[in-house]
A and B are shown apart, each in its own frame.
Chain A
């Protein structure tokens, strides 16, 4: 069974640029959630994708957007990068059903915005 994978592992961007992060869900999972973890903080929920549509969103501006593909993999796009976007971005996959689905996390992508 393949776990959640994310790419790239590290990324350095300049303020104002755009970035795309990628996530492959665990085998058998159909839902992907994205989180932002600033240094020394707990992860914060960005949004969730199910059946290729956004299925819930946290308190993040529209410049954070995403996609889910038919194979359940997902992308997180961030436009007009700001210094405060520097963080570890975590992807989690789960199998939707009954509300108690457990989220399994990937290793994350560490983004540094200069």
Chain B
């Protein structure tokens, strides 16, 4: 079975500051990992994904994430926060080759202070 832990249900940063959202996973097989963003009253939008190629993954809107197998982590970063980044962020894991769906963390609400 797989699981995802997102540290910090709320993260607050100033506009222009570094964004760091933490995600740790557990999986019995090599995983595929995803970050999604959810704006109020909307569905989920894919930010980026790790599928066993490069460990540093670049996504949309300036976000990137690094897969660290030794730490079982897939933290999301962005060098400079914008007001438009305020949203709910979800980390998800899918076991490689499995037919199961995604297992999501509980989410981190990102607050951007002016």
Which of B36, B44, B96, B106 is A100 in contact with, Cβ under 8 Å? B96
Chain A residues lying within 8 Å of B51, measured Cβ to Cβ, are 100
Of chain A, the residue at the smallest CB distance from B42 is: A107
B44 and A45 form a contact (CB under 8 A):
no
A58 at interface by CB-CB < 8 Å:
yes
Which of B49, B101, B104 is A42 in contact with, Cβ under 8 Å? B104
Chain A residues lying within 8 Å of B52, measured Cβ to Cβ, are 100
B99 and A48 form a contact (CB under 8 A):
yes
Known: A105-B45, A107-B42. A43 touches B98 (CB 8 A): no
Which of A40, A41, A56, A107 is B101 in contact with, Cβ under 8 Å? A56
Which of B32, B43, B49, B104 is A44 in contact with, Cβ under 8 Å? B104
B100 at interface by CB-CB < 8 Å:
yes
Which of A41, A43, A44 is B44 in contact with, Cβ under 8 Å? A43
Q: Which residues of B contact A (CB under 8 A)?
A: 4, 32, 34, 36, 42-46, 49, 51-52, 90, 92, 94, 96-107
Q: Which residues of A contact B (CB under 8 A)?
A: 4, 33, 35, 40-48, 50, 55-56, 58, 90, 92, 99-100, 102-108
12 A-B pairs whose Cβ atoms sit less than 8 Å apart in the complex? A33-B101, A41-B107, A42-B105, A45-B102, A56-B100, A56-B101, A90-B43, A99-B98, A100-B51, A104-B46, A106-B43, A108-B42
